[in-house]
Amino acid sequence: MTYDILIVGAGPVGSTYARYMAEKGYKVGIIEKKSRIGVPLQCAGLLGRQIKEVNILPSELIINPFYGAYLHSPSDRILKVAKNNPEAYVVDRVGYDQFLAELAVDAGAELFLKHQVKDINLKNGMVYIKNGKEDFRGRIIVGADGYNSVVALKISNNEHNHSLQAAQFKVDFDKNLFDMDYVHLYADASISPGFIWLIPLSSSEARVGLFGNSDYHSLNKYLKDFLNNNPAFDNYSLMKKYQGRIPIFNPKKNIVKDNVILLGDAASQVKPTTGGGLIMGFKCAQIAANITGKALENDDNTILKQYQSQYRKKFKTELNTQLRVQKIFKSLTDEDLDLMFIKLKEEGAEDIISEYGEMDDQAPLVKELFKRGIIFKILPKILARGISALWK
């Protein structure tokens, strides 16, 4: 079977891109190895407010909106940041993946479940399926097959994507513990640049998780110690455990070759500081749809290179800022982090973060802290210079 666009992976980003292309009238096929889309859950499901601009999010899939966050230092000094309107939403991520796939199918895309891609041919566009199932051909092939992408492997001469392990628990705290308007983020040098997130699903239940450069077993133990050592969590029970991997953003990654492009986690399109991939993936799906549409219209695959250049240009400042911030956090000790929280509070940073902070675009806040001289007060000189160099 031949398609204009053949997408490997019906994750949220692949399905969104499929919808855009089907709406343009192209013949779109999506090949997905799972029998049930989105299962098992491998996500905290926290989406910044930009989700409403970059994709459709039905209100019945929103579990809870958040207006701000409590940021906890290692010795539990707290910064509270708040907005007047919802800054983020925790969503039913399994339901959301299924909803986005249904929209793609409604728009005309053909979805093939239980089809695992084993290989692709860059020259003739063939996509080969495991277990003797019929093969496919695409004029353009889109690898949206996640961090462990077979398509990425193929176009990068067998160089695997680098990724970090993530672990998450669904926890019942057995009492009304949470203000539902706020998420909690706990800084800790030993897991830096990661952090622990606690996202209330109700006043007594939360998703608690972290990612880091350790194995799943160690992260699990770390999370249990975190819960056991916090006196407020005296009678909790674990309802579910989840695990997954988060690709490490690679600014030099080649995401186009011949008639193939990569999208979403397969392209390492995730925010370096938080590991969040949905908003950025959806924005990239829009760029990819414009460029692949042009390439099909002109029957010229050399146009696909513009996808890589436009993507890099659009996210350059933001991602470079996040990479620097991430590098700095990696070098800080628990004492440094505590001191930083104290100084931030003294400098009135809660108000500044409340005004300029945003989950998905962090560069404006860092720039504001730099402009007000706060960066130089909270960080050792050498690290502060690294950040300020971004705006020289």
Ligand X SMILES: Cc1cc2nc3c(=O)[nH]c(=O)nc-3n(C[C@H](O)[C@H](O)[C@H](O)COP(=O)(O)OP(=O)(O)OC[C@H]3O[C@@H](n4cnc5c(N)ncnc54)[C@H](O)[C@@H]3O)c2cc1C
Name the 3-class secondary structure at 148. Answer: coil
Q: Is 45 one of the binding residues for ligand X (CB under 6 A)?
A: yes
Rounded to whole angstroms, what are the CA distances from 100 to 57, 68, 97, 271?
A: 9, 27, 5, 21
**Of residues 200 and 277, the one with the C-beta less far from ligand X:** 277
Here's the x/- map for ligand X, 66-105, by CB under 6 A: it reads as: ----------------------------------------
Contact 21, 292 (CB under 8 A): yes
Taking the complex as a whole, the smallest distance from the CB of residue 379 to ligand X amounts, in Å, to 27
Q: Is 196 in the site for ligand X (CB under 6 A)?
A: no
Smallest distance, ligand X to C-beta of residue 190, A:
19
The residue among 165 and 369 lying less far from ligand X, judged by its C-beta, is: 165
Provide the H-helix boundaries in the chain.
12-23, 51-54, 93-106, 150-155, 216-229, 278-298, 305-331, 334-346, 349-356, 363-371, 374-378, 381-388
Instruction: Note whether 244 binds ligand X by CB under 6 A.
Output: yes
Nearer to ligand X, 44 or 141 (CB): 44
What single DSSP character describes residue 43?
Answer: S
**Nearer of residues 341 and 357 to ligand X, judged by Cβ:** 357
For ligand X, give the closer residue by CB, 315 or 341.
Answer: 315
Nearer to ligand X, 187 or 387 (CB): 187
* Residue numbers 280-299 binding ligand X by CB under 6 A: 281
How many residues bind ligand X, per CB under 6 A? 37
Q: In whole angstroms, how close is the CB of 367 to ligand X at the nearest point?
A: 23
Query: Which is it for strands 205-212 and 136-143: parallel, antiparallel or unpaired?
Result: unpaired
212 makes contact with ligand X (CB under 6 A): no
Please select the residue that binds ligand X; options are 166, 187, 291, 366, rule is CB under 6 A. 166
Q: At 189, is the secondary structure helix, strand, or coil?
A: helix
Nearer to ligand X, 34 or 83 (CB): 34
Site stretch for ligand X (CB under 6 A), options 42-50, 221-229, 248-256, 376-384: 42-50
Q: Which residues contact 62 (CB under 8 A, 6 or more apart)?
A: 89, 90, 91, 92
Task: Examine residue 168 and tell whether it contacts ligand X (CB under 6 A).
Answer: yes
> Cα 304–308–309 angle (5° rounding)?
105
125 versus 277: smaller Cβ distance to ligand X: 277
Residue 370: CB minimum distance to ligand X, A: 26
Q: Which has the closest alpha carbon to 248: 336, 122, 159?
A: 159
Is residue 193 a contact residue for ligand X (CB under 6 A)?
A: no
Touching ligand X, residues 143-162 (CB under 6 A): 144-146, 150
Task: Report CA-CA distances (Å) from 104 to 7, 18, 94, 116.
Answer: 12, 6, 16, 19
Read off φ and ψ for residue 88, nearest 5 degrees: -155, 165
- Distance CA(10)–CA(4), nearest Å, equals 17
Q: Max CA-CA distance within the chain?
A: 65
- Nearer residue to ligand X within complex by CB, 74 or 244: 244
- The single-letter DSSP state of residue 390 is G
Binding mask 12-31 for ligand X (x = CB under 6 A): xxx----------------x
Residue 9 and residue 274 in contact, taking contact as beta carbons nearer than 8 Å: no
The residue ranges that bind ligand X (CB under 6 A) are: 8-14, 31-34, 42-47, 116-117, 144-146, 150, 166, 168, 209, 244-246, 264-265, 270, 275-278, 281
